[in-house]
Amino acid sequence: MSILDKIVAHKIKEVALQKELVSFHQLERSRLFDRPSNSLAEALKQSQSGIIAEHKRRSPSKSVINENVSIDTVAKGYEAAGVCGMSVLTDAHFFGGHLNDLLIAREHCNLPLLRKEFIIDEYQIIEAKANGADVILLIAAILEEQEIKQFSEIAKGLHLDVLLEVHNEQELAYSLMPNIDMLGVNNRNLKTFEVNTDISKTLSRHIPDEFVKVSESGIHSTETINDLRSYGFEGFLIGENFMKTNDPGKSATAFIKQLIS
């Protein structure tokens, strides 16, 4: 069983339990549920940097990344750095995140917030909206075509942006749908966790221009971003490069200054 298979198996049990604890009705009564959303796709189109900075405490491939810095500090630091949006990992078992991380980030910044999660149920989309997210992630590798269609329609009904993540041309072929705002290419193979930015370059030619192209994972330098821009990418999701430092916000600030200078 691959790491991705283990994550999905655990997520199915986790979501079933969460449904018993908090109902759809309770989520929809959240004080944040009717909050107007900030569009990450529009922010990326207008940005000089295109940086989506991530909060990630640990991962299955790297173990502990940074469990010392608080998410409110990270959120304020990223906003001060001038990033386009913030990705918040909410998976607890494998990544050390929590749904409350979204709430805390929402309270401390006005950035578009992406709920970085392994979504396998519409319940998680309602959760995202109720906890202050502006964007959801859909991962083609764990979803059927009909699920991508259904989940993206639900998200748009809630005025959430949708970032659809693919890893190969086969996934891309059945994922191009009207309710997708951004097409993300994950340079990390979710079965082996190996990283190669050539995946983004290879798939870029198959992504129609109406989708905002986002390259995810393995981005450690401004040179890589400038290279990927020549392939039409406007968004760049960066996590470990900032989070592995003592001050992710300061690291993001230095990176962006170098990028746009």
Q: Which residues are catalytic?
A: 54, 56, 116, 165, 186, 216-217
Sign of the alpha-carbon torsion through 179, 145, 127, 95: negative
Within 13 Å of residue 195, how many CA atoms lie on the same side as its CB?
A: 9
Which has the closest alpha carbon to 32: 195, 197, 140, 159? 159
Rounded to 10 deg, the angle between the 145-157 and 122-130 helix axes is 30
Rounded to 10 deg, the angle between the 248-260 and 222-229 helix axes is 50
Rounded to 10 deg, the angle between the 122-130 and 3-21 helix axes is 70
Q: Say how far apart CA 143 and CA 239 lie, in whole Å.
A: 24
In order of 87, 88, 173, 177, 204, the CA distances from 31 in angstroms are 21, 20, 38, 31, 39
C-alpha 137, offset from chain centre: 5
Which has the closest alpha carbon to 78: 39, 49, 37? 49
